[in-house]
A = this chain, B = another copy of it.
Amino acid sequence: MCYSDIYYLNKDESQLLQISKGVEWAAHAASLMIGLPEGHGLKAEALARYHEVPIAYMAKQLQALSKAGIVQTSRGKHGGYKLAKLATEISLWDITAAIEGSKPAFRCTEIRQNGPCGLKRKDCKSPCQIAAAFGVAERAFRDSLQDITLADLGAQVMQDSSNEHLLEIIGWLQEEAVPLGRANS
């Protein structure tokens, strides 16, 4: 067997399991798109500026959202991003999976088949109990995020914000929104 040292050497020792910042940025960017005027989008540069994050990484998250069918983009000088579906149809899990991937975070390497008392492969038709337990826990995590839609997040932001702040956001969106050309999702 061969193990890569890179995985172990490049992670923060005190906390290995981390959801990437890209998920936070993508969730905020997609939430902001709820407020766009019909037929309009936001450029990656504007979304990066709004959230004060580096444009290259914001663009990378938008591409991942586009690939997952969550946002759509258009070609040309007015190229921008808007939601590809209703905000009620996009869950926080959809956004997380678009950025992080949807494969299980726990990867069973079947070490129960290793070593002097290793099980034979033919006796391992059921998943290892440890892998099965992680499967249940990951489903609970996913189900919880699937219950929250962009529409829920938008409604909560509306509820928590002052009228002054909402007007500020709407004003910014009206200034920055670009009419979208032919879709290129």
Contacts and interface: CB of A to CB of B under 8 A. Distances in A.
A78 interface: no
A14 B103 CA distance: 9
B141 A106 contact: no
Contacts of A22: 16
A51 to B, nearest CB: 5
B51 A114 contact: yes
Interface in A1-45: 1, 3, 6-8, 10-11, 14-25, 27-28, 31
A76 interface: no
Given A16-B99, A129-B153, A28 B112 contact: yes
State the 10 A-B residue pairs at the shortest beta-carbon distance, nearest first: A52-B114, A15-B101, A137-B144, A140-B140, A141-B141, A17-B100, A129-B156, A52-B115, A19-B106, A16-B100
21 contacts: A3-B21, A7-B20, A10-B10, A15-B100, A16-B22, A16-B101, A17-B18, A17-B20, A18-B105, A18-B107, A19-B134, A24-B108, A25-B111, A53-B111, A92-B133, A92-B134, A133-B145, A133-B153, A137-B140, A137-B141, A140-B144
